[in-house]
Amino acid sequence: MPADTGSATKLPFHGSLSRSGSLTAACAALLCLTGGPPVRATAAEYSFTVSFPAETRAEPYTGRVYLFFQKGEQGEPRRGPNWFNPGPMVALDVEGWKPAQTLEIGTADSSRLLVFPKSFSDLDLSGHRVQAVARFNPLERKVGDGPGNGYSAVAPVEMRDGQPAGAALVIDQLVARREFVENTWCKLLSLRSELLSEFLGRDAWQQAAVLLPAS
């Protein structure tokens, strides 16, 4: 949990101070209190709306919806997170979400959300861009670029009264399945697993690339 920003800042004490030293310490404390970055006086209120058209998916969706955030202008947030500096992420589990139905993901319903790295209202999304992803293909381990999953265009987090507030996102694109390109020396081997197919109740395939010898 983040520290309470409302409490006074305590400075470490290192023995007795002379009169001039006391003045120096007081000035340093004043600089610490006035020269640092601004602190939020109140918790943020965010509201993001997400929908998907019937052209993207005709049937209702039950599963997880994600919001990926990224600061800066480069790349798509869904292709993250950056392992060394991950951006904020928010997720919500939905049931029977219908095409063209607007889904709201916001701080008003924080108890249902999964949020990283801190509570939704404590996130500072100034200067961030956002992208929505629906895990239409739950069998794919990748979320943001897993084949069959739906995603929206990237949008800036909109400002309201000088504070980041939200965005309207439409999941109207599907991640294409990557095709294996064979050549003279590299072939695709695809085998149906009897044990996995029986366990999962559907066809399960195991694939491998076979490198052929030069002869």
pTM: 0.72
Q: What is the DSSP letter of 16?
A: -
- pLDDT for residue 24 is more than 50: no
- pLDDT for residue 21 is more than 50: no
- pLDDT for residue 72 is more than 90: no
- pLDDT for residue 201 is more than 70: yes
Q: 163 versus 174: which is more confidently predicted? A: 174
- pLDDT for residue 33 is more than 60: no
Exposure string over 161-180, b if 16+ CB within 10 A, otherwise e:
eeebbbbebbbeebbeeeee
pLDDT for res 172? 97
Mean pLDDT of 186-215: 88
pLDDT for res 210? 92
pLDDT for res 160? 85
- pLDDT for residue 11 is more than 70: no
